[in-house]
């Protein structure tokens, strides 16, 4: 369980850190690409190849690229490195004022060009048709007073239509290109666009389907979980299914749909007509919009789950209280939590600073973001390291000769090697009956295993952990779960890498992200199947070695001690462990007691 969490965290850390680090390097070396970034370079390359336009760095003259849809336009002026970018911006501003425009104009002095851009955004939410007129002839004339040679390209998305269009010079990736360098001063671009009838459905399906299903499932779970008329055992059984299955199901349905929507650029017409944007990236915040509501709803669900799966008053009196007074350990745990929130807050502050307040051109701004991400992901580990100093004794596992002897005896019988056997008094597990083993053979148990389990019960629990070693379960997990997952997520790395290293070969982003989604789904299913099978196998071998069914049963029952929600162990929908009742049934069957 903890191994998997660590692996996942490492994978994510790896995925996030590599691009952060590389983009930091890229920033230092290449200084800057702000207005003329990678997408604009691709456009310039195409124009150079197919319409004989000059490419950057220009020696003289200007290249103007006007991207225009039904309700959005972007007029980009690119000149030589020595050109006066603020001057281009003034020309653009004067031009738009003449026709009543009041949009912001940006300029940037770049290492391979001087550039200015004017973005006109006129979208209206719900609009299904729209038209635009842009007097580009006048702009050409004004710019000719800045430079002799001015080339004008118009880039039109496929959902828009240009009235009285000349012959296109190039076509690619959802756009048609026109060369209007020879346009007269009267030339006005008239563009009309119409939203395909199914586009709004695609849009709402893309952004709202999964959140709506999730809210409905949470609502249904809350309603069902709190119906006192239904027997509690039944509610415990069906509550997790009601909440989880629709959410996973909707994600599975959504993945191929999302893949189609993104690869076929179906969101672009909506970005244009509804928000007046020349890029569908404008919708990115929508992906995160449901998160605050989902986050708040977890508090409501936690209340219901405490009632459903928490210890009943009767159950509480059956279970002995924790063996030692632990207020200081609890304090320690609370302290770790506070410190880790604090550290996470610092990480978030670094991230925000790196993205918002520090100039993207500044040397080292990438390093600030890199630091923020690292701090954020390592916050709980860092908190442990910092807090360990103050309460050393509760954190370091202590040796126990009796436990050690029991483990060695079992290991000899099972012909497997252990390295150490110790009592772990750390705050996280001190209240529980808990045993674990690492890949390299370090057995750890919580104090309650030594104090409250009989020798026979403890032998079963320890034999179960050793069985994971003996049966090479860690290697199985690596081969069947972690390795395929890492392989499936690796293509996404090439996409991130290519952000800062254009020469780096990359897979189309749609395929790379699709492969990551499939790998994630595969891992979720594989964990459920493999880990549960391994628990049954370990139980079976442990019973064969110890031979005491009663002790095995009571050891399993006692491992529910000390959990705030002991009845969670009744559920079969957990990812790694089968329901306790099923494990006990399986053991009885082995012994012929059905
Ligand atoms: Zn196990």
Summarised one tens digit per residue, pLDDT across range 481-493 is 999 999 998 887 7
For residue 135, what are its two tokens? 């007097």
The Å distance, Cα 26 to ligand 1 centre, comes to 46
For residue 262, what are its two tokens? 């993104």
75 neighbors 66 (Cβ within 8 angstroms): yes
pLDDT at 222 over 80: yes
Distances (CA, A) of 455 to 31, 403, 548, 550, 570: 68, 10, 11, 12, 25
**pLDDT tens digits, residue range 296-310?**
887 888 888 888 887
pLDDT at 391 over 60: no
pLDDT at 156 over 50: yes
Q: pLDDT band at residue 217, thresholds of 50, 70 and 90?
A: very high
The Å distance, Cα 581 to ligand 1 centre, comes to 15
- E strand or H helix that includes residue 409: helix 401-414
The Å distance, Cα 588 to ligand 1 centre, comes to 18
The Å distance, Cα 402 to ligand 1 centre, comes to 22
3-state secondary structure of 1: coil
- Global pTM exceeds 0.75: no
For residue 367, what are its two tokens? 């390093």
Question: Is 589 exposed, middle or buried (CB count within 10 Å of its CB: 0-12, 13-18, 19+)?
Answer: exposed
pLDDT at 494 over 80: no
What pLDDT is stored for residue 361 in this prediction?
57
The Å distance, Cα 481 to ligand 1 centre, comes to 16
User: What is the CB neighbour count within 10 angstroms for residue 68?
Assistant: 26
Q: pLDDT band at residue 504, thresholds of 50, 70 and 90?
A: low
The Å distance, Cα 539 to ligand 1 centre, comes to 8
The Å distance, Cα 267 to ligand 1 centre, comes to 47
The Å distance, Cα 538 to ligand 1 centre, comes to 6
Higher-confidence residue of 399 and 450: namely: 450
107 neighbors 89 (Cβ within 8 angstroms): yes
Q: pLDDT band at residue 5, thresholds of 50, 70 and 90?
A: low
What pLDDT is stored for residue 498 in this prediction?
65
What pLDDT is stored for residue 372 in this prediction?
84
State what percent of residues in the chain have pLDDT above 90: 30
**pLDDT tens digits, residue range 75-104?**
999 999 888 888 999 999 999 998 888 888
The Å distance, Cα 465 to ligand 1 centre, comes to 6
Q: pLDDT band at residue 1, thresholds of 50, 70 and 90?
A: very low
pLDDT at 393 over 50: no
pLDDT at 499 over 70: no
The Å distance, Cα 381 to ligand 1 centre, comes to 24
Q: In this structure, what DSSP letter does residue 438 have?
A: -
**pLDDT tens digits, residue range 22-70?**
444 333 333 346 788 777 888 899 999 998 899 888 888 899 999 999 9
115-129, 155-169, 319-333, 518-532, range with the lowest pLDDT: 319-333
Question: Is 348 exposed, middle or buried (CB count within 10 Å of its CB: 0-12, 13-18, 19+)?
Answer: middle
What pLDDT is stored for residue 26 in this prediction?
34
The Å distance, Cα 221 to ligand 1 centre, comes to 29
591 neighbors 546 (Cβ within 8 angstroms): no
**Alpha helix stretches (DSSP H) within 121-165:** 136-144
The Å distance, Cα 385 to ligand 1 centre, comes to 27
What mean pLDDT value characterizes the chain? 82
What pLDDT is stored for residue 321 in this prediction?
59
pLDDT at 574 over 90: no
pLDDT at 565 over 50: yes
Give the integer Cα–Cα distance in Å for 485 and 478: 10
The Å distance, Cα 281 to ligand 1 centre, comes to 45
The Å distance, Cα 452 to ligand 1 centre, comes to 19
pLDDT at 594 over 80: no
Closest CA to 95 of 188, 161, 179, 162: 188
Residue range 504-511: mean pLDDT, rounded:
70
Give the N- to C-terminal CA distance of the chain in Å, as an integer: 30
pLDDT at 338 over 60: yes
Q: pLDDT band at residue 359, thresholds of 50, 70 and 90?
A: low
Give the integer Cα–Cα distance in Å for 119 and 89: 12
pLDDT at 327 over 70: no
552 neighbors 460 (Cβ within 8 angstroms): yes
pLDDT at 411 over 80: yes
What pLDDT is stored for residue 363 in this prediction?
63
What pLDDT is stored for residue 13 in this prediction?
54
């Amino acid at each position: 369980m903890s191994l998997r969490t660590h692996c996942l965290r490492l994978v994510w850390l790896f995925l996030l850190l590599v691009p952060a680090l590389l983009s930091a390097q890229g920033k230092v070396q290449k200084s800057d690409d702000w207005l003329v970034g990678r997408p604009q370079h691709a456009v310039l390359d195409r124009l150079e190849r197919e319409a004989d336009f000059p490419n950057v760095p220009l020696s003289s003259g200007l290249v103007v690229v006007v991207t225009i849809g039904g309700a959005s336009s972007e007029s980009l002026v690119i000149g030589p490195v020595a050109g006066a970018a603020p001057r281009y911006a003034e020309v653009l501003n004067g031009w738009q004022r003449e026709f009543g425009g009041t949009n912001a104009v940006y300029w940037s002095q770049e290492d391979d060009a001087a550039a200015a851009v004017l973005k006109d955004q006129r979208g209206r939410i719900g609009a299904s048709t729209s038209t635009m007129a842009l007097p580009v002839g006048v702009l050409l004339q004004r710019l000719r007073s800045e430079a002799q040679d001015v080339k004008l390209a118009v880039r039109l998305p496929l959902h828009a239509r240009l009235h009285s269009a000349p012959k296109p010079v190039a076509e690619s990736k959802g756009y048609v290109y026109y060369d209007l360098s020879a346009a007269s001063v009267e030339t006005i671009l008239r563009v009309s666009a119409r939203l395909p009838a199914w586009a709004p459905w695609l849009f709402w399906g893309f952004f709202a389907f999964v959140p709506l299903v999730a809210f409905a499932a949470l609502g249904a779970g809350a309603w069902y979980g709190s119906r006192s008329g239904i027997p509690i055992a039944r509610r415990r059984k069906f509550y997790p299914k009601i909440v989880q299955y629709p959410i996973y199901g909707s994600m599975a349905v959504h993945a191929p749909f999302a893949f189609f929507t993104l690869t076929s650029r179906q969101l672009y017409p909506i970005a244009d007509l509804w928000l007046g944007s020349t890029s569908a990236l404008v919708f990115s915040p929508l992906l995160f919009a449901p998160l605050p509501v989902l986050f708040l709803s977890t508090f409501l669900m936690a209340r219901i789950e405490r009632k459903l799966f928490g210890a009943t008053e009767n159950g509480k009196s059956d279970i002995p209280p924790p063996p030692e007074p632990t207020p200081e350990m609890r304090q320690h745990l609370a302290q770790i939590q506070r410190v880790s929130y604090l550290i996470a807050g610092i990480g978030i502050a670094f991230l925000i600073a790196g993205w918002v307040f520090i100039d993207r051109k500044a040397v080292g701004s990438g390093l600030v973001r890199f630091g923020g991400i690292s701090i954020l992901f390592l916050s709980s580990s860092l908190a442990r390291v910092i807090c360990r100093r103050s309460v050393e004794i509760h954190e370091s596992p202590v040796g126990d000769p009796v436990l050690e002897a029991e483990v060695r005896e079992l290991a000899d019988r099972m012909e497997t090697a252990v390295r150490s056997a110790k009592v772990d008094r750390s705050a996280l597990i001190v209240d529980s009956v808990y045993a674990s083993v690492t890949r390299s053979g370090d057995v750890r148990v919580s104090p309650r295993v030594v104090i409250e389990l009989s020798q026979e019960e403890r032998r079963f629990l320890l034999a179960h952990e050793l069985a994971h070693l003996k049966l090479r379960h860690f290697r199985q997990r690596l081969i069947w779960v972690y390795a395929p997952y890492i392989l499936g997520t690796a293509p996404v790395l090439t996409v991130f890498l290519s952000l800062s290293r254009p020469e780096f070969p990359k897979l189309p982003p749609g395929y790379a992200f699709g492969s990551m989604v499939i790998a994630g789904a595969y891992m979720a299913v594989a964990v459920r199947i493999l880990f549960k099978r391994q628990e049954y196998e370990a139980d079976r071998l442990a019973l064969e070695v110890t031979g005491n069914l009663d002790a095995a049963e009571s050891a399993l029952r006692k491992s529910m001690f000390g959990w705030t929600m002991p009845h969670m162990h009744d559920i079969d929908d957990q990812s790694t462990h089968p329901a306790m009742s099923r494990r006990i049934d399986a053991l009885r069957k082995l012994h012929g007691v059905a």
